[in-house]
């Protein structure tokens, strides 16, 4: 709206320049936020799904070693490096499995896909497992 008003009242060149500056500032602001929406251990958060006693006992025993990270937004070179740092920090404790919930990820470019492959490779070196959640089952 500001660009349209400036192009009519002042100068179209100045309006385009200011519009570009505003777009860059908004992009940088969006990319400075973490792609991790939330993270939790499976013993701290219970799901709404009902489980049989065998599954419940397994979660009670091993839930603290399973980390879930819910991601949101775009996964590309700008957000990927920060994601790697957050995964490294979060998996320093007794983590045996990492689940990346990608249901809220709006787009993944080739760099983002390589980042996920790199995360898998790094976790395998540490004898950890990686799981990906891509869509809701039965929804």
Q: Domain extents for the chain? A: 1-32, 34-133
| Structure confidence at residue 61 (pLDDT) | 81
| Structure confidence at residue 42 (pLDDT) | 82
Q: How many CA atoms lie within 13 A of 121 on its CB side?
A: 6
Q: What CATH topology corresponds to 34-133?
A: Transcription Regulator spoIIAA (3.30.750)
Mean pLDDT of 114-125: 94
| Structure confidence at residue 5 (pLDDT) | 82
pLDDT exceeds 90 at position 119: yes
pLDDT exceeds 90 at position 67: yes
pLDDT exceeds 80 at position 121: yes
CA nearest neighbour of 108 among 83, 82, 76, 68? 76
pLDDT exceeds 60 at position 139: no
| Structure confidence at residue 124 (pLDDT) | 95
Q: End-to-end distance of the chain based on CA atoms, in angstroms? A: 39
pLDDT exceeds 80 at position 131: yes
pLDDT exceeds 80 at position 27: no
């Amino acid at each position: 709206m500001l660009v349209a008003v400036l192009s009519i009242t002042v100068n179209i060149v100045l309006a385009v320049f200011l519009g570009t500056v505003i777009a860059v500032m908004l992009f940088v602001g969006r990319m400075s936020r973490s792609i991790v929406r939330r993270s939790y251990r499976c013993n701290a958060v219970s799901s709404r799904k009902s489980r049989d006693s065998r599954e419940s006992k397994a979660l009670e025993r091993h839930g603290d070693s399973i980390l879930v990270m819910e991601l949101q937004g775009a996964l590309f070179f700008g957000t990927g490096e920060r994601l790697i740092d957050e995964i490294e920090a979060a998996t320093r404790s007794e983590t045996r499995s990492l689940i990346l919930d990608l249901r809220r990820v709006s787009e993944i470019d080739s760099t983002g896909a390589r980042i996920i492959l790199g995360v898998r490779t790094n976790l395998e070196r540490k004898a950890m497992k990686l799981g990906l959640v891509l869509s809701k089952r039965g929804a």
